[in-house]
Amino acid sequence: MKTKQKTVKQKSAKHKINKKTLKTVTVKKKKPISKSNIFKKLIKKNSTSSKSNSRKSHLKNSVKLDSRFWKTALYELIIILFIVVAIMFWTNRMTAIQLESYDLLYKEGTMSDPATSMLMEQAFTEFTREILVFSGLSIVFALASLLFFKSLIYLTIWKEKFNWKYLGKYSLMALLWSVIFVPLTVIINFGLFNVVSENLSSRFWAQATFIVVPLVFTVLSFYLTCIFFLIFSKKQKMWESIKLFYKIGILQFKKFRVPILFTGFLFFLINTIMFGFLFLGQWVFLFGSTILFIVYFCWLRLYFWNYVKELI
């Protein structure tokens, strides 16, 4: 009887131990991973990889020196040549007017003579009229060449045909953009620079802001200008282009953060190279900086175009 009681007690003890172990096992069990969480992780990985792949492909496509790159570079060079011609025409005419006025001043006769004073007044009124006329012609010539070839640049990027109606719309939008956007960026740039530089105690950080703040605003202005006129050149409608610019350029700014940083770094690098050209002479500096900026802006438009064409 005693042996039977012992075996019963041992069985009950084993049964209790098994229950305890089962309880501990159930506590240690992990929650099963849901399929939705797995899909979310996979989607995140795929999205990051696709973003990096698209950035690489956009960069590769922008570096390809196709016919669009060479055409836009040629148009940029023509713009610079036309502006140089307008400036030379204006300066030559101004020097001629200046020499004529000197000859008139040293002409025989005194200011007390009424006939001489009348002639001098008439001559000076003619000189001022000529200055205004030739200045106006030079500005119109330079501005017309700028607007015409800039419109061709954006049409060439989209491989669109030129029409005079588009040129009129583009000229209006470019003038409005320069009147509203350029003064606004200049005011914000100088205001922010003054506020930041005044609150800095160290001279080093003040000098750093003198470089960084204008660089940031310049790169942002490049970005906004390229995005706006790329959209406008494709749609060729004012209000629709403004709405799309707000949707793509402002609301979807996060998608352009890496391109903006990259283009800003290249712009800073070009400026440092140009600083080195200063030691090689004036003509080397002018020629080298002109070529570098032509290549940079032609590449910049094609680089942003690769992003815009996917979002438009």
- Which structure tokens are listed for 108? 């025989």
Q: What is the pLDDT of residue 17?
A: 44
Contact 58, 129 (CB under 8 A): no
d(CA 1, CA 97): 139
Residue 270 has pLDDT above 80, yes or no: yes
d(CA 98, CA 135): 14
Q: What is the pLDDT of residue 43?
A: 46
- Which structure tokens are listed for 232? 């406008």
DSSP E strands, 154-251: none
Residue 87 has pLDDT above 70, yes or no: yes
Distance (Å) of CA 136 to CA 86, 92, 149:
11, 15, 20
Element containing residue 221 per DSSP (H, E)? helix 203-235
Residue 197, amino acid: S
Instruction: Count the neighbouring beta carbons within 10 Å of the beta carbon of residue 51.
Output: 12
Residue 131, amino acid: I
Average pLDDT value for residue range 119-127: 73
Residue 19, amino acid: K
Q: What is the pLDDT of residue 32?
A: 53
Q: Structure pTM?
A: 0.74
Q: What is the pLDDT of residue 187?
A: 75
Crossing angle of the two packed helices 67-105 and 114-158, in degrees rounded to 10: 180
106 confidence band (pLDDT: 50, 70, 90): low
Q: Of 90, 96, 154, give the one whose Cα is nearest residue 126.
A: 96
For 219-252, the pLDDT digits (tens) are 888 999 999 999 999 999 989 999 999 999 999 9
Higher per-residue confidence, 163 vs 22: 163
Q: What is the pLDDT of residue 60?
A: 75
149 confidence band (pLDDT: 50, 70, 90): very high
For 292-304, the pLDDT digits (tens) are 999 999 999 999 9
Distance (Å) of CA 80 to CA 93, 149, 152, 187:
20, 10, 15, 27
What are the sequence ranges of the domains in the chain? 67-138, 163-312
Contact 273, 292 (CB under 8 A): yes
42 confidence band (pLDDT: 50, 70, 90): very low
Residue 188 has pLDDT above 80, yes or no: no
27 confidence band (pLDDT: 50, 70, 90): very low
